[in-house]
A and B are shown apart, each in its own frame.
Chain A
Amino acid sequence: MEQRNPTLRSVAWLWFGIAIAVLVVGFRQAIFLTPADAAQGDVGRIFYYHVPSAMWSLVFPYVNFIASLFYLYWRKRDPLKALTADAMAIAAAEVSVVYSSICLITGSIWGRAAWGIWWTWDERLTSELLLFLLYVSYLMLRRFSSTGQAQTLAAVISIFAAIDVPIVWMSIRWWRTQHPAPVFFGGPDAGLDKSMMPAFVWNIIGWGIWGIFILIFRFALERRRQLAEQEAALQAIEASLEIPQ
């Protein structure tokens, strides 16, 4: 087994501590300090959680896609590096599923309060749902494939998913929309009241730090599993080489 590196461990604890601290500040800002939304009242506060998770759920799939590309590039050239890339890919896919689920659940709670319905087949809701479905099917593939090929097949599917996401987005945009226009970069009427800005910024940063923390944590876990597997394979080979007495 790989020796546990004390420096890395303290960095990880420090990162974890920062994540919790920033999230606490973000919570205080979002729930206690920011005035209630003029139009929606306290219901609007869920946005401080919904929007950050939505934003980050669009970032982690890129990590998965890039890691999968590196995996395919290194697959034949440098298998050990390729395994590292694969560990990053699976970690990013799982974090994507977690963040997009949080986005869907918080969005649906808000939808119930504001629109009176839990769900509507609107542009952004459908796109986010499809993003969630694509990465769930990625994880399903990993679970179902036989051990030797799971990584390669998963990397291929990751490329399909990454190409599918913009197509989904475009085609559903064509189809219909009911979701409020994006708050950031959403055109002339978009934008936030200044009083809401701190809560948003703290929460976006906080959930970003937290997401990266669980990403790296899952990555380290997967690396450890891979190393243990290699060790076991090596021992099996050594045992088979021993001359029978």
Chain B
Amino acid sequence: MNYLRHVLDHLRKDLRLEWRSRDSINGMLFFALLVVVVFGLAFDPTSYPTTTRQISGGILWVALLFASITALNQSWARELRNQVLEAQRMAPSPASALFLGKAIANMLFVLIVEAVLAPIFIVFFNLHALGNVWLLALILPLGTWALVVNGTFFAALGLRARNRELLLPLLLLPISLPALLAMVQATTGVLTADLDSIQIATWIKQLAGYDIIFTTICILLFETVLNAE
């Protein structure tokens, strides 16, 4: 219970910080929108509805992945100002509570971006999903968590590195490729109705398994990373 309270405290602090500046959400939103526009110009989605259905799952996730990478570094850079991070290291609360609070905050930001982006995406790409759209309500949060939990962890890991802006994608992309594969396949399966429901369920299960495994490892190893000196 005590642990949960620490997590909530960290979460509340991150949400309040974001509410005052709104840098991350605005930045992510505009960035993701630009990626969608660039792909829209490149492929002409309205003329080829079938191709659009096949590729738009991938485009949506690529846009979200790149957008969240831009925000994840900022979320830790905030802690560096005025040596806040050093204070966090000395605080008696468990280190993983800090991590979980921040990961949940980042998750909420990306979910907000998704909620705004999804309708725009559907309009711009003239998308008519052929499968069960409600499954996306499961796939999107699971996929987002997979990206955000590892992303938050690696952003903390690269915090003191030289050119940390570059390091985060270099670490995050290879490790999350199985998750990306699962989420893109599941999303495309829902949009095109090419995969049967058992196959989609398998991808969703894989994604959930990936989430559970990597959340556990991140929580276990975060203290090592925070005190890596």
Contact A149 B229 (CB under 8 A): yes
Partner of A130, one of B158, B162, B177: B177
Interface size on A, residues (CB 8 A): 29
Contact B181 A160 (CB under 8 A): no
Contact B228 A149 (CB under 8 A): yes
B166 on the interface (CB 8 Å rule)? yes
Q: Select from chain A the residue with minimum beta-carbon distance to B180.
A: A171
Chain B residues near A140 (CB, 8 Å)?
A: 167, 170-171
Partner of A145, one of B160, B214, B221: B160
Chain A residues near B150 (CB, 8 Å)?
A: 160
Partner of B178, one of A152, A156, A167: A167
Q: Select from chain B the residue with minimum beta-carbon distance to A168.
A: B178
Interface size on B, residues (CB 8 A): 32
- Given contacts A152-B228, A153-B225, A175-B185, whether A134 and B158 have CB atoms under 8 Å apart is no
Query: How many Å from the CB of B47 to the closest CB on chain A?
Result: 27
- Given contacts A152-B224, A156-B225, A160-B217, whether A171 and B170 have CB atoms under 8 Å apart is no
B161 on the interface (CB 8 Å rule)? yes
B92 on the interface (CB 8 Å rule)? no
Chain A residues near B217 (CB, 8 Å)?
A: 159-160, 163
Among A134, A145, A170, which residue has the most Cβ atoms of chain B within 10 A? A145
Contact B166 A144 (CB under 8 A): yes
Q: How far is the CA of A140 from the CA of B154 in the complex (A)?
A: 13
B interface footprint on A175-207 (CB within 8 Å = 1, 0 otherwise): 100000000000000000000000000000000
- Given contacts A148-B229, A164-B175, A174-B206, whether A156 and B181 have CB atoms under 8 Å apart is no
Query: How many Å from the CB of A172 to the closest CB on chain B?
Result: 7
Query: How many Å from the CB of B203 to the closest CB on chain A?
Result: 8
Count of A-B residue pairs with CB < 8 Å: 88
Contact B171 A141 (CB under 8 A): yes
Contact A153 B228 (CB under 8 A): yes
Query: How many Å from the CB of A144 to the closest CB on chain B?
Result: 5
Q: How far is the CA of A196 from the CA of B174 in the complex (A)?
A: 37
Query: How many Å from the CB of B93 to the closest CB on chain A?
Result: 21
A interface footprint on B163-207 (CB within 8 Å = 1, 0 otherwise): 110110011011101100110010000000000000000100010
Partner of B174, one of A72, A134, A159: A134
Q: How far is the CA of A133 from the CA of B209 in the complex (A)?
A: 22
Contact B163 A167 (CB under 8 A): no
Chain B residues near A159 (CB, 8 Å)?
A: 217, 221
A245 on the interface (CB 8 Å rule)? no
B210 on the interface (CB 8 Å rule)? yes
Q: How far is the CA of A159 from the CA of B228 in the complex (A)?
A: 15
A-B contact pairs, 10 of them (CB 8 A): A130-B174, A140-B170, A141-B157, A153-B225, A153-B228, A156-B224, A168-B178, A170-B206, A171-B182, A175-B185
Q: A149-B229, A153-B225 given; name 15 further pairs at CB < 8 Å.
A: A136-B174, A137-B173, A137-B175, A145-B160, A146-B162, A152-B225, A153-B228, A156-B221, A156-B224, A157-B171, A159-B217, A159-B221, A161-B174, A163-B217, A174-B206
